[in-house]
Structure 1
Amino acid sequence: MHYFKKCSIFLFLFLFILLTKQGYAQVDYFQNFKESLLSYFPIITGKVIKLENNELTFDKGAKDGIKKGQRVVLFEETMPLIHPVTRQIIGKSEKIIGSAEVVSVEENSSKAIIIEGNINLPKENSLLFKIPKSKIKILYAQGNTEWAVGEGYYRELKNTERFELINAPVNINEVDNLLKEPQNADVVLLLKQSKQNGNIKLTQELYWIKDKKLLSRSETELSAVAINELRKKYASLIVPEGHTLLSFRLSRGVNRVATGNFDGISQNQILIASDNEISLYLIDVDLKLKSNYLIPIGGDILWFDTGDIDKDGKDEIIVTIKKDDRVVSSIIKWVGDGFVEISRINDIFLRIYDGSLIAQAYSPSEGFNGEIFYILPQKSTYQKNSILKLPVKANIYDFYIFGDTTFKWEDDGSLAVYNNKGIPLWRSQEPMGFGLQYEKQTGIAMLSLGKWKVQSRIKPLSNGVIVIEKKPLLGFVNASTFGYRSSKLQLLQWTGIGIEQTDITDEMSGEILDYAVSSDKLFVLVKPPFGFNPKRILQGESPFETILHILSFKY
């Protein structure tokens, strides 16, 4: 009896451990996708046994991993490679003579057509083919796919160690646009997402970059449970220990920050702007000034944007300024050894949105006036292109669209979420603060039509947006004249049934004026309460300052 008790206890413990391990086992939601992709790139070497016109016959077939659509390297072995010490033959050098694409497959053989090279079958029948073991370079584009889903698949592919993944620009959904910028890759991988019965259908398209030919298209379905798990794992934001890597005291007038590659060469570039000057710095262990640019028409910066809108590998600067009763937008570009204004347009607001330039007209009596439209800028004017259709009425700086949901700043400083029919789904309980406010001009003394407002920057990240939440000094959010006692950055993500709010930073004393995000750093510009730091007076220094915090950032 005692023996059976012991056996029962051991059996129970064994089953408990087994079930626990299974319960915590990591689920690979992308197994089918991954296997489909890997199946086109096995490491194979074989012989060409026949050449007729432009068609080759291989001695390898389906059982060896050969698959229709694969592309192989054609080569000949030449001189033997001899070990310099042992003098033993360790291999043969290879002469690449072309490439071919597999067009039909049998169990033990396959046929391919020559796509590159002038091929002749040697008399000794020594022509070989291979899918090399070197990593395949893939331009990875997650298109409209939710960030957490795209990031999860990206990491699964990276873990195979078969691919070198090159990130494509975010939110590009058209393969033609991707193929214009091959970035020295072999294949474009484009993910597409759509909803199906409450789940997400994910489509993977593979294209050969050389001739833009479709290699394969496959689909998989992710359940709501899978999506939530991926969000928990990959959509979280981490500022390790909340510690700032570097902080810099800047002049009071600095109020905008942005990152990018402006000269097409240097990495880790940061722009810091005041109302009349833009400074370009390189980031190392310190800020290293590279160039200064005086803004031709100084005034209040309403919007400051950067992006490669002409697709030449160098980011442009878009700046919209209010001076007196006018609004002027400039496009500034690095030319030669400095910045040059290449376009100046009056009475127009500009913004870079998903890699394209959008605009909205300005009027003194309304502020933002009329529809938002795509624009082709010229030196002093512009060509108006298609209208940007939104499910809700919004001004150019108020919104960001994620799939079927629109995040939008409201007039009272609160943030709301709408569906694609313009129906409100969520609204913040309290206002989150304002950017800049201006009186609508009536031309009649003592008659006010209210104010038009430029809200704080709203930026996409993961499957949500980053916003600044500000807390006023005196408890009145609209009384921005008195400033803000503290502020922080938040990530707001729509889950389908509600909003998940994640603090990116702790509460920072004063007002966050602007922020920028790179792949591993977060840049935050902060103005102290009342715009000055009284401690500086005791140190015999000017108390008026703005602080730039650089934080380690992973997402």
Structure 2
Amino acid sequence: MTKDTTKDMTQYMKISAYAVVIALCQVIYLLSFINGAFGAVGGYDDPLKPLADKTVKFFNPLTLKVDAVKGDALTLRGDTSGKAIPGTRFEIFRQGAMFYHPVTNEPLGHFEDLIGSIEITGVKPDGETAARLIKGTPKKGDIARLSKSKIRALFYQDKSIDWFLGDVYYRQLKQSGRFELIDSAIDAENTAALFEEAKKLGADVLILIEGSKKDEIRDEDKYLKQRIYWVSDKREVSSDTVAVSEAYLQDVLAAADIFLSAMNEPVLTYRMPIGYDLMTIGNISGGSDVDLIFSTGSDLAVYKPGVDMNKIMELKGDKMSDNVYIDIIDINKDGRDEIIVTAMAYDGARAFIYGVEGGQLKLLWKASGFLRVYGNKLLFQRYTPREGQVGNVDYIVWDSNHFKEEGQLKLPSGVNLYDFVYLAPAAEDAKSDPVTLFYDNANHLVVKNSTGTRIWRSKGNMGGFIREYNIPGPTIMVEGGKWHISDKMFLYHKKGIAIRRIPFALTSASLGYKQSYIMSYGFNGISVEENTLVGAVSGNIIDYTIYKDRIYVLARPILGLNLSGMLKGENPLVTNLFIYKLL
């Protein structure tokens, strides 16, 4: 072994040891956070702890005596150490024969016979407790008891809530020592399937947690809702909702970054035609299934995703134009989305709105300029040959069977309709106004506050603009420069989402891209936090869209060639559609 080789190996071992230490620190931080070691995280109280405490208290062990029975109504008294809670269920026991010590023959107590069960319906200030009979034939003097043994509960976390947030709450319940929590791999579409699973697994209680149901496409889960059911008769006995701040959620996800990166693999992959370079997703054809819409050149193609992609309709556009932006929005509020298209043609930018009529795409509106969907609004900006996007950004609305411009969106100077998203501070106590995240002319990301002061700029550019256009110069011999159309930006969980590409040559993207990433940028009221959502995609991510808890990524391999497929006799010219789960 040479001296240089030994030196290289020593350096490698040092770097590897350092990486292991960093990884272990992240694991310890995550486990400490999830196990509640911090109590108040980031200077604010844990919003889940009061709910966990209330749930545990609902099942506090307690012993009462039956004082009176009138039909199905019972009156209970006793044990002043705590009060029963309406909805809680007790078992009824009757004192039986005495049992004795086998050697000394000393009396040790009485056997108890299980008589039935009751549900608490109310508690009076004087300690009297009312209950209803569920089964059995209790009488005065019988014992009503909620035992100290663990409550066997099926814990189910709905898809509408962030997985790691649900896991933090799961561990808080488990740490209480009051529950025997049962996990299940069932992917339930309704509570009926959950009850069937709970009975099969011998659970007494079903604990169901869900997230908020606001705008599932572009809004964030702001609440955790818990419902508790008795499995035997499917009766809901408790329903609570707690607000979860974005700051708390980001702390949970930040602690989980080491695990998120390990899970960053697509759940589905489709091979699409090489020409597809734009995409969006929505419901344009009606029914319960979504549609995937792709653009290639000036044409549009609509697919129904399944085991395979099934094309259901297409639209041929002007061959002298090239689509540069597509998205969807239900602008006329008819329950079906319209397709929004901007194309560049020989005479400049053209904006179109298409809808489905009779199973075909039909042009509903067109203008000279640019369109963009932002949230639940449709934006429009005009075009000039020298500046591209220029002038005010207007809202387009549907009014009495026609589209019209109504109102304007004020943007920072130099920011156009494709360049930006608004970020709100994540911290609950942050008093600052929402800030603007946008691309500057050098393809860096910049954050400015409401007064126009720059508070952050990315260290490097995002890999160059892939859609640039020449500005005509004052003479044939003098060039006039370039203008560009920025990559699509989304707002997801109060974070800006953008593409970062890594060129083969760091100083130029002319040779193409070796890797691409989808990044998130969150503002905490003081600084910007950058994280990777989708990482190390080989080649060039050319477009993406977010729908519910999935991110759909359209990418071309390095040099646009699938070399491994070519060796198998497959067409090497492909565009890949990767679908990732967003956690």
Instruction: Tell me the SS of whatever aligns to 1:290.
Output: strand
Of the two, which has the highest radius of gyration? 2
Residue 470 (structure 1) aligned with residue 501 (structure 2): yes
Alignment CA distance shift 1:315-1:498 (3 Å): same
Could you list the per-position Cα deviations for residues 245-274 of structure 1 after superposition, in whole angstroms to 9, with x for gaps in the alignment? 332332221101211111221324212221
- Counterparts of residues 350-369 of structure 1 (less than 5 Å): 350-369=371-390
Normalising by structure 1, report the TM-score.
Answer: 0.60
Deviation at 1:233, TM superposition (A): 6.9
Instruction: Tell me the SS of whatever aligns to 1:473.
Output: strand
What does residue 267 of structure 1 align with? 289
**Which amino acid counterpart does residue 47 of structure 2 have in structure 1?**
Y
What does residue 406 of structure 2 align with? 385
**Which amino acid counterpart does residue 29 of structure 1 have in structure 2?**
P
- Counterparts of residues 59-458 of structure 1 (less than 5 Å): 167-169=213-215, 226=248, 229=251, 232=254, 238=260, 241-296=263-318, 299-345=321-367, 347-376=368-397, 383-403=404-424, 404-433=434-463, 434-442=465-473, 444-458=475-489
Give distance in 1, aligned partners of 2:315 and 2:271: 20
Asked whether the 8 Å contact 1:305–1:352 carries over to 2, the reply is yes
Deviation at 1:481, TM superposition (A): 3.5
Alignment CA distance shift 1:338-1:414 (3 Å): same
Give distance in 1, aligned partners of 2:451 and 2:369: 28
Give distance in 1, aligned partners of 2:218 and 2:574: 39
Residue 23 (structure 1) aligned with residue 37 (structure 2): yes
- Counterparts of residues 458-537 of structure 1 (less than 5 Å): 458-477=489-508, 480-535=509-564
Instruction: Tell me the SS of whatever aligns to 2:507.
Output: coil
Instruction: State percent identity of aligned pairs.
Output: 25
Long gaps (5+) in structure 2: 1-33, 55-82, 87-124, 126-159, 173-190, 192-204, 224-240, 425-433
Deviates more, 1:291-300 or 1:311-320: 291-300
Instruction: Tell me the SS of whatever aligns to 1:496.
Output: coil
Instruction: Tell me the SS of whatever aligns to 1:530.
Output: helix
Asked whether the 8 Å contact 2:437–2:448 carries over to 1, the reply is yes
**Which amino acid counterpart does residue 498 of structure 1 have in structure 2?**
S
**Which amino acid counterpart does residue 307 of structure 1 have in structure 2?**
I
Residue 554 (structure 1) aligned with residue 582 (structure 2): yes
Give distance in 2, aligned partners of 1:540 and 1:30: 55
Give distance in 2, aligned partners of 1:160 and 1:411: 55
**Which amino acid counterpart does residue 280 of structure 1 have in structure 2?**
V
Instruction: Tell me the SS of whatever aligns to 2:459.
Output: coil
Give distance in 1, aligned partners of 2:295 and 2:261: 25
What does residue 200 of structure 1 align with? none
Could you list the per-position Cα deviations for residues 145-199 of structure 1 after superposition, in whole angstroms to 9, with x for gaps in the alignment? xxx999999xx9x9996998772226999xxxxxxxxxxxxxxxx989xxxxxxx
**Which amino acid counterpart does residue 388 of structure 2 have in structure 1?**
G
Give distance in 2, aligned partners of 1:327 and 1:270: 24
Asked whether the 8 Å contact 2:513–2:558 carries over to 1, the reply is yes
Asked whether the 8 Å contact 2:278–2:324 carries over to 1, the reply is no
**Which amino acid counterpart does residue 523 of structure 2 have in structure 1?**
W
Give distance in 1, aligned partners of 2:35 and 2:479: 68
Instruction: Tell me the SS of whatever aligns to 1:544.
Output: coil
**Which amino acid counterpart does residue 365 of structure 1 have in structure 2?**
R
Give distance in 1, aligned partners of 2:549 and 2:249: 24
Alignment CA distance shift 1:341-1:414 (3 Å): same
Deviation at 1:539, TM superposition (A): 4.8
Deviation at 1:386, TM superposition (A): 1.3
Asked whether the 8 Å contact 2:217–2:548 carries over to 1, the reply is no
Deviation at 1:31, TM superposition (A): 7.2
Deviation at 1:428, TM superposition (A): 0.8
Long gaps (5+) in structure 1: 1-19, 37-62, 67-106, 108-140, 143-147, 174-189, 193-217
**Which amino acid counterpart does residue 455 of structure 1 have in structure 2?**
S
Number of positions where the alignment pairs a residue of Structure 1 with one of Structure 2: 401
Alignment CA distance shift 1:328-1:287 (3 Å): same
Deviation at 1:370, TM superposition (A): 0.9
Alignment CA distance shift 1:400-1:287 (3 Å): same
Asked whether the 8 Å contact 2:285–2:291 carries over to 1, the reply is no
Alignment CA distance shift 1:365-1:33 (3 Å): farther
Alignment CA distance shift 1:343-1:307 (3 Å): same
Deviation at 1:65, TM superposition (A): 11
Could you list the per-position Cα deviations for residues 251-307 of structure 1 after superposition, in whole angstroms to 9, with x for gaps in the alignment? 221101211111221324212221132222222222222222223565222211112
Instruction: Tell me the SS of whatever aligns to 1:396.
Output: coil
Deviation at 1:423, TM superposition (A): 0.9
Instruction: Tell me the SS of whatever aligns to 1:485.
Output: strand
Give distance in 2, aligned partners of 1:220 and 1:164: 12
Deviation at 1:354, TM superposition (A): 1.4
Asked whether the 8 Å contact 1:405–1:419 carries over to 2, the reply is yes
Instruction: Tell me the SS of whatever aligns to 1:254.
Output: coil
What does residue 79 of structure 1 align with? none
What does residue 183 of structure 1 align with? none
Give distance in 2, aligned partners of 1:257 and 1:515: 7
**Which amino acid counterpart does residue 468 of structure 2 have in structure 1?**
Q
Asked whether the 8 Å contact 2:515–2:538 carries over to 1, the reply is yes
Give distance in 2, aligned partners of 1:219 and 1:522: 27
Give distance in 2, aligned partners of 1:489 and 1:353: 19
Give distance in 1, aligned partners of 2:529 and 2:550: 23
**Which amino acid counterpart does residue 362 of structure 1 have in structure 2?**
Y
